[in-house]
Chain A
Amino acid sequence: MSDELLVVRAQLGDRSALEELVARWQTPVWTYVRRMLDAQRADDVAQDAWLAIVRALPRLREPERFAPWLFTIVRRAVANHLRDRYASRTHQTVRDLDDLDPSDTLSDTALHDPIGGLLDRAEAVAHLADLPVPEREVLVLHYLEDLSVADCARVCDVSVGTVKSRLHRARRLLRERLEEKGMEA
């Protein structure tokens, strides 16, 4: 069954379709949150994101564009969480994910601790934590969540050109990190 059909059924009030939609997208949503935050907070923020998704679902007018819509909401949940964290810690104003420092979103221990740090894809994933948030975000959306460049632009509320330049910079930074590690080894 296609995502669009599931979304339409869920919008009609079919509870089982909604449950299947959650089951199908739970891991992608969690993966995005996990790449932006550490493991301790990923589950809670993903749950908050799901609550926001379910509350907004009746108002979704383009069910065929579910994925970018979904990640827009998840991104907002992550930004809200980080904004609250910043506010309680430093009273600094954070308007968007672009304003954040990498160390505030994903700590090294989150990716390297022996229990929680069982990483899924290539070794490169371990270096995501070192990337600046805007670059890390488009990298996760484009390569881990398989969103198109246009959908990434929509989710991040920036132009396609900006997404392309961030992807380019992210790839370059990642390559540099991997080369550094290779040279050390």
Chain B
Amino acid sequence: MTQEMPGVPAHEVVARLGPALSARARVRAVAMLVLGLAGAVFVTALWWTEPGPLPVRTQVGFALLSAVCLAWAGYGSWLLRRKVPLFAADQVVAAWIGLVASLATSALLVVVTVQRGAGPWAPLLVGAALTVVAATLLVRARRRRAALLRRERELTARDLETP
């Protein structure tokens, strides 16, 4: 009897996975998450440090802008968890981008709040929290990659020893 075989060849299966594996998809998802979070933190800081009572329409505007930024961040996070695979090297790069973005956002927050006459402690605390989270993600990503590289070396050596 002839063996029944898949109707789609392997290279075609890989080609159809292209959109999910593309660098563009990964960059877009990471950018949405980072920019969305940074935007939400920045807009919220501007809102809180506004001198004097704000009209209701302005308050609604700030709230909407923060919500839009959070929605983008949520969408980026969902893409990274469900749709776009981030392999070990990508995770390290994404974590570095997150760390740089959190440091830049923190610096901007401090400058803006001090210029507006508010104390620097609140933005410093928020910035520190953001930076700690980003740094933790970076350490985890580097550890994971190092563990995989170590395992790859062990397995390669084992493969070479096997006749």
Contact of A12 among B17, B87, B159 (CB under 8 A): B87
The answer to whether A90 has its CB under 8 Å from any CB of chain B is no
Main secondary structure of the interface of A (DSSP, over half): helix
The answer to whether B54 has its CB under 8 Å from any CB of chain A is no
Task: Give, as a whole number of angstroms, the nearest-CB distance from B92 to chain A.
Answer: 10
The answer to whether B89 has its CB under 8 Å from any CB of chain A is yes
User: Contact at A118–B17, with CB atoms within 8 Å?
Assistant: no
Number of A-B contacts (CB under 8 A): 100
User: Contact at A58–B1, with CB atoms within 8 Å?
Assistant: no
Given contacts A8-B148, A50-B17, whether A120 and B6 have CB atoms under 8 Å apart is: no
Binding site for A on B (CB under 8 A): 1-8, 10-11, 13-14, 16-17, 20-21, 82-91, 145, 148-149, 151-152, 155-156, 158-159
User: Contact at A54–B89, with CB atoms within 8 Å?
Assistant: no
Neighbouring A residues of B20 by C-beta, 8 Å: 51, 54-55
Known: A43-B7, A118-B4. 6 other contacts (CB 8 A): A9-B152, A11-B87, A23-B11, A26-B13, A27-B6, A56-B85
Q: Name which residue of chain B comes closest to A26, CB basis.
A: B10
Q: Name which residue of chain A comes closest to B83, CB basis.
A: A55
User: Contact at B4–A116, with CB atoms within 8 Å?
Assistant: yes
User: Contact at B148–A34, with CB atoms within 8 Å?
Assistant: no
Interface hits, A13-72 → B, CB 8 Å? 13, 15, 18-19, 22-23, 26-27, 30, 34, 39, 42-43, 46-47, 50-51, 54-58, 63
